[in-house]
Structures are given as C-alpha cells and as structure tokens.
Amino acid sequence: MYRQGRRLRGSGFALIFMANGLLYNRLGVSMHGKFRGSVRRNRTKRIIKEVFRLHRDLFPPSCDIVLTVSPGFRLHSSASVLEAVACLGRSQWQAGRI
C-alpha cells in the first residue's frame, strides 16, 4: 500500500490510496511514533474515522485509504479534519488528476 498507492500530502497528514476492486472504501489510520499521549492519539483516530463515516463522498471511490498523521497535526474538531481533507480532495480528485 505504501509503495504502490498514490500519496497526497496535507498540512500535518498524508493520504495514501489505492484501488481495491471492491464496491466500498476501507480506511486505515496510521499515527507517527512521536505522536505522544494515548488520549490525544485515540481521540484523533476517532475523529478521523467519524469524518470518514459521515463524508465518504470526499474520498475516492472503491479504494483502500490510509491516513497517516504526523505529530504536527493540530486537531481542534471534526470540522478541522473535514476541511483539511475537503481542501485536499477538491484540488486533486475533482480536477480529474486522480
């Protein structure tokens, strides 16, 4: 996945995706080893998964998706994650480059 998938970089995160041949998406969340604090780490994962569940149309269809989060990623609410992914997707997927 990491070698063959396409990678889009956002502010503090990267989105790696690859076609899976299924009719649905699958999501994985990967946290950098220096992302300290289990409460912060698990809250970030939970919010990312919730954004994915509620806004599947923002992600490319029929893909396996891994969202890697770096320690510099600042999360204030699900709206901040939604906006970060939407900006990334708007500029790439809807422009037909992917």
What local confidence, expressed as pLDDT, does residue 90 receive? Answer: 57
What local confidence, expressed as pLDDT, does residue 95 receive? Answer: 45
- Give the C-alpha separation, 2 to 84, whole Å: 21
Q: Comparing C-alpha atoms, which of 78, 69, 8 is closest to residue 33? A: 69
Report the share of the chain in percent with pLDDT over 90. Answer: 9
Domain 6-92 fold is Ribosomal Protein S5; domain 2 (3.30.230)
- Give per-residue burial for 13-27: e unless 16+ CB within 10 Å, then b: bbbbbbeeeeeebeb
What local confidence, expressed as pLDDT, does residue 92 receive? Answer: 57
**If you count them, how many residues does the chain have?**
98
Q: How confident is the model at residue 28 (pLDDT cuts 50, 70, 90)?
A: very high
- Give the C-alpha separation, 36 to 43, whole Å: 12
Whether 60 shows a pLDDT value over 50: the answer reads yes
Cβ(69)–Cβ(10) below 8 Å: no
H or E stretch at 28: strand 26-31
